Structure 1
Amino acid sequence: MSERCTWCGSDPLYVNYHDTEWGVPETDPRALWEKLILDGFQAGLSWITILRKREGFRAAFEGFDPEVIARWGEPEVMRLLADAGIVRHRGKIEATIGNARAWLAIEEKGGFTPFLWQFVDGRPVQNRFATMREVPAETPVAQAMSKALKKAGFRFCGPTITYAFMQATGMVNDHMVSCPCHDHVAGLARQVAIR
């Protein structure tokens, strides 16, 4: 019997996110950067909180354009700290500006997409979990990604954050095997090979 992953509950916004986005392989470098930034903002909060504010974040951060954000300074930090449409946390806002600069450097060297996808050898990992208890909070691969991102200048990217990011962007398929999305995402994964 098909049964959706239980973590999304019954909130329509969360269910739609689960059904249409979570676990779908993402290869666009700017979309990957946006998701990593939002996962960093989630630290200490629930994902639904970030999801409800996502459009506010997109407006406040000018569409998550790293080239724009990399030029920001204290005036933009102060503007964002006054914006109720986002999570107002100075450390996370300042980290986002620094992370934009780090993204630009990685993108210039060889691309943010291959930099991230190298940790799964360019192909989505297909897990086959039957219960939520089996799903790890982090893995050695997520730890390696976190370490590499920090070395490149990223902040708010610990291994729990990077594993959640890997799940969300389809680097790993952590839909329960009983979830209809598991096989759908597995089919999409067959089309992905990043080098």
Structure 2
Amino acid sequence: MQTMDRCGWCGTDPLYVAYHDTEWGVPERDGRALWEKLILDGFQAGLSWITILRKRDAFRTAFAGFDPVEIARWGEPEIARLLADPGIVRHRGKCEAAITNARAFLDLGGPEAFADFIWRHVDGTPLQPERPDIAAVPAFTPLSERLSKELKHAGFRFCGPTITYAWMQATGLVNDHVTTCHRHAALR
């Protein structure tokens, strides 16, 4: 039986492998989905992505399907509810940031405007670096630093350059599958 070459970070966990093979790095053009993934990447700060991936369904339930209109109206009662929910990462700053980010998302003009705002940073086309191995993949780039600053200027939180770069990779703004990975050429 032939094995498929993959990026080393996904290991062999079936959930992680499925995420790697079907979702990570696929260009996401839906603004609401981009926003949801940014929120989840913010919750991942200081943790492993597999932790968030395992809790993603619970996050979707706790955060009303990541409906930014609803979340933007939330206040202290909803934060208290989130902090009591063992199915998600219970971190006050991250929960507050999700609410702030919903408001910033809406202030930018909603899904289409957010998608346009994000994708213009790569001229609408995913970046295609040629990374031979995981050691060649940076934690952040000058572009993620610039995008992070612009997001923060627009009112977003928990979107530093490292979080922003991980999000850019996950949403396909940059194809950071290593060149030996079967997904690299597929997403080229």
- Does structure 1 conserve the Cα–Cα contact (< 8 Å) formed by 2:32 and 2:111? no
Give distance in 1, aligned partners of 2:40 and 2:112.
23
Asked if structure 2 preserves the Cα contact closer than 8 Å seen for 1:2 and 1:178, the reply is: no
**Displacement after TM superposition at 1:107 (Å):** 2.1
Equivalent residues of 2:30, 2:111 under 8 A apart: no
- Residues 109 and 9 of structure 1, relative CA distance in 2, 3 Å threshold: closer
Q: What displacement does 1:36 show?
A: 0.2
The percent identity for this pair of structures is 67
What is the CA–CA distance in structure 1 between the aligned matches of 2:71 and 2:128, rounded to whole Å?
Answer: 34
Matching residue's letter, 1:161? I
Contact 2:122 2:173 survives alignment (8 Å): yes
Please, which of 155, 161, 164 is the counterpart of residue 162 of structure 1? Answer: 164
Q: What's the TM-score once normalised by structure 1's chain length?
A: 0.93
Aligned residue-pair number = 186
SS across alignment from 1:173: coil
Q: Is there any run of 5+ residues in structure 1 with no aligned partner, and where?
A: 187-195
TM-score scaled by length of structure 2: 0.96
1:70 to partner: Cα distance: 0.1
- Provide closer, same or farther for how the CA distance between residues 126 and 158 of structure 1 changes in structure 2, counting only shifts above 3 A: same
The aligned amino acid for 1:46 is: S
Q: Does 1:141 align with 2:143?
A: yes
1:23–1:171 contact (8 Å) kept in structure 2: yes
Aligned twin of 2:187? 185
CA distance in 1 between counterparts of 2:55 and 2:159 reads 20
Deviation string, structure 1 residues 124-148 (Cα, Å, up to 9, x no partner): 0011111111111000100010000
Report the Cα offset of residue 108 of structure 1: 5.1
**CA-atom RMSD in angstroms:** 1.3
- What letter matches 1:79 in structure 2? R
| 1:19-49 deviation line (CA, Å, top 9, x unaligned) | 0000000000110000000000000000000
1:110: Cα distance to partner?
6.8
What does 1:77-88 correspond to in 2, within 5 Å? 77-88=79-90
